[in-house]
Amino acid sequence: MIAPAAALPWAGLLPGRDGSLSPPMQILLLLTLLALLPAVIVSITPFLRIVVVLHFLRQALGTQSTPSNQVLVGLALFLTLLIMQPVAAEMYERGWAPMARGQLPAEQALREGVQPLKTFLLKFAREKEVRLMVELAHAPAPRTPADLELRVLIPAYILSELRVAFQIGAVLFLPFLVIDLVVASVTLSIGMIQLPPVMLSAPFKVLLFVLVDGWTLVVGSLMRSFY
């Protein structure tokens, strides 16, 4: 004899007759999203571009581990929250809030909730990377950018952000590279062969960076690049 659905141990996980998720399923879904949250923050937010540029900047300054990784990650995280706050608020208002009030079923709420994220990703995903991901996924060509699936859009966005971050990092390296070359030429010309040029150029690079208010310039340029 087959047990009724209410007697099954997983009955509480089944959706209700109105299509809404049961509380245990909502808790399970929330815990799953929380487990994926670090990967989401790192890959599909401005955190990716910001933290890569900050690491390039530290390497260009030649200050080894100063600022520390924790400081750079913390700065990148708070700057990311500042940029993504309107997007997250719109996702909540269009997806989670109507589902919590019972106005939308879970599937429709998910579709509505990811639309602001897709709009944000489309702003920064290059067409070349999007075409590559569509080809690799063997997906049909979308009629409009809004028809792109997240499985195609997310890796295209990541590749685009890495490209931009490396471009910015290369530009940041140039002035400090000039200082290194000048100091190395001077030390060789006066016969200071055994003294590493990096030891002499590091104070000049830090001094130059402080005099031009480098942190404000770099962070301001990064933030404006997302607006």
The pLDDT of residue 4: 46
pLDDT one-digit tens code per residue, 116-154: 888 888 888 888 888 888 888 887 777 877 778 888 888
115-134 as b/e, with b when 16 or more CB fall inside 10 Å? ebbbebbeeebeeebbeebb
Distance CA 73, CA 54 (A): 9
Distance CA 79, CA 84 (A): 9
Q: pTM, whole model, 2 decimals?
A: 0.76
The pLDDT of residue 162: 92
The pLDDT of residue 166: 92
What CA dihedral angle connects 147, 153, 156 and 158, to 10 degrees? 150
The pLDDT of residue 160: 92
Distance CA 22, CA 44 (A): 29
Residues in the chain with pLDDT < 70?
1-22, 192-195, 197
Helix, strand, coil tally for the chain in percent (to 5): 75, 0, 25
The pLDDT of residue 14: 44
Distance CA 111, CA 181 (A): 54
Q: For residue 7, which amino acid is it?
A: A
The pLDDT of residue 12: 46
The pLDDT of residue 20: 54
The pLDDT of residue 159: 92
The pLDDT of residue 210: 86
Can you read off the two tokens belonging to residue 82? 């500042």
- Cα distances (Å, whole numbers) of residue 160 to 80, 89, 143: 17, 25, 21
